[in-house]
Structure 1
Amino acid sequence: MSKIVKGKVFVVDDNIDTDQIIPAEYLTLVPSKPDEYEKLGSYAMIGLPDRYGKFIADGEIKTEYPILIGGENFGCGSSREHAPIALGAAGVKVVVAQSYARIFFRNCTATGELYPWESGTKLHDRFQTGQFATLDFDNNRITNDTTGEIFELKPLGEVAPVIDAGGIFAYARETGMIPQR
């Protein structure tokens, strides 16, 4: 079965850090509690400068952008796993960036919240917030549905089944590495 994510994109630049993704003041929220998970998502990207616009519209708790496009070094800063969790809780399905801070990439995989795709192209110069895109998992590409441009992405490789399973512990249970609950 092929996997495709379609929807509006939200575009940011290089060096988006975890404080911009979810400021430290919201780290007291416990993602394993459903109401706090939802609340955590409502604060996603609240630390961004005003020039990016609103990631989550006033009065809403989810974003209208299932695809987040960034530049180099996305998710730099602290090692907080709350960053990918907040984005996932907000409704983001995939992040496509030129490169990631290693810990953010690892936290995406470990939590199973987001698919961290990498692009050799500077996509944040080729998309604008609000445009529509289609990300095709089988063909490792993203299409800017507004302009018709198609961009190749680096394959997800071995992280895909871990994220598909819902994170590292779910994957370990699914594959028999640790006993089922």
Structure 2
Amino acid sequence: MSLIIGRVWKYGNNINTDEIIPGKYLRSKDIQIFAAHAMEGIDPEFTKKFRFGDIIVAGTNFGCGSSREQAPLALKYAGVSCVIAKSFARIFFRNAINIGLPLIEVDIECQEGDKVKVDLAKGEVIVSDKDTFRGNKLPDFLLEILNDGGLVAHRKKLQRKKNKTIIPG
């Protein structure tokens, strides 16, 4: 995964999964419904002002609350290219990796609307082409899952590789 570049939408600490995708939408199985209501619990105008490829920057404990996998799905299908936070709730972190939503733990200083460049492989974020912040580099196996588009796609790729290496006897 190369550089992720986008405009910042900034939020605070303890953004929970109910704020990311309110519970009233969870009866749907339509991912586009989730996308249309992403961040509605904290920012009702989010999907109107957000542009595909923008980046969310938050404080500590992003994705806390229930373990609903619809929260990272809502962000991914709304067009969020990456979530940067000081820390993530562990289940949200793993759900995001599993569905192929890039994220990085790093404490950055930025303003809403700033342009940021995220290098997951290096574990760093560059704000407005001048300030570089280093955070936690994702382990190679998680980067590989993200590069493959999520856990299901990654497992399918591994299975295809395995099938190609079998030599009939």
- Range class of TM-score, shorter chain: 0.7 to 0.9
Which residue number corresponds to residue 90 of structure 1? 78
Contact 1:140 1:154 in 2 (8 A): yes
Matched, 1:41 2:35: yes
Determine the C-alpha separation between the residues in 2 that align with 1:136 and 1:106: 19
CA deviations on 1:135-169 (whole Å, 9 max, x unpaired) are: 123432111117x2110121111211112212222
Question: Equivalent of 1:56, from 29, 47, 62?
Answer: 47
* C-alpha distance in structure 1 between counterparts of 2:162 and 2:23, whole Å: 35
Pick from 125, 139, 152 the counterpart of residue 169 of structure 1: 152
Q: CA offset at residue 27 of structure 1? A: 0.9
State the shift of 1:172 in Å: 1.2
- The one-letter code sitting in structure 1 at the alignment partner of 2:47 is I
Report the counterpart of residue 105 of structure 2 in structure 1.
118
Name the counterpart of 1:4. 3
TM-score where L is the length of structure 2: 0.86
* Partner residue of 1:104 out of 92, 114, 136: 92
| Partner Cα distance (1:139, 1:49) in 2 | 31
| Aligned equivalents of 2:33, 2:9: Cα separation in 1 | 20
Unaligned runs of 5+ in 2: 164-169
Structure with greater helix percent: 2
Runs of 4+ aligned residues of structure 1 deviating over 6 Å after TM superposition are: 177-180
Secondary structure of the corresponding residue to residue 95 of structure 1: strand
Change (3 A) 1:47 1:63: farther
CA distance in 2, matches of 1:165, 1:56: 27
Query: Could you tell me which residue of structure 2 aligns to residue 71 of structure 1?
Result: 59
| Inter-partner Cα distance in structure 2 for 1:110 and 1:137 | 16
**Residue 120 (structure 2) aligned to one of 133, 137, 159:** 137
> How many residues in Structure 1 have an aligned counterpart in Structure 2?
162
- Of the two, which has the highest radius of gyration? 2
- Superposed displacement of residue 94, structure 1: 0.9
Matched residues, percent identical?
A: 33
1:107/1:101 CA distance change after superposition, 3 Å: same
- Normalising by structure 1, we get a TM-score of 0.81
SS of structure 1 residue aligned to 2:135: strand
Instruction: Report the 3-state secondary structure (helix = DSSP H, G, I; strand = E; otherwise coil) of the residue aligned with 2:116.
Output: strand
Change (3 A) 1:76 1:93: same
Cα drift, residue 107 of structure 1:
0.4
Question: How far apart in 2 are the matches of 1:64 and 1:169?
Answer: 24
Once structures 1 and 2 are overlaid, which stretch shifts more, 69-78 or 129-138? 129-138
Alignment match, 1:22: 21
Unaligned runs of 5+ in 1: 31-35
Conservation of the 8 A alpha-carbon contact between 1:8 and 1:64: no
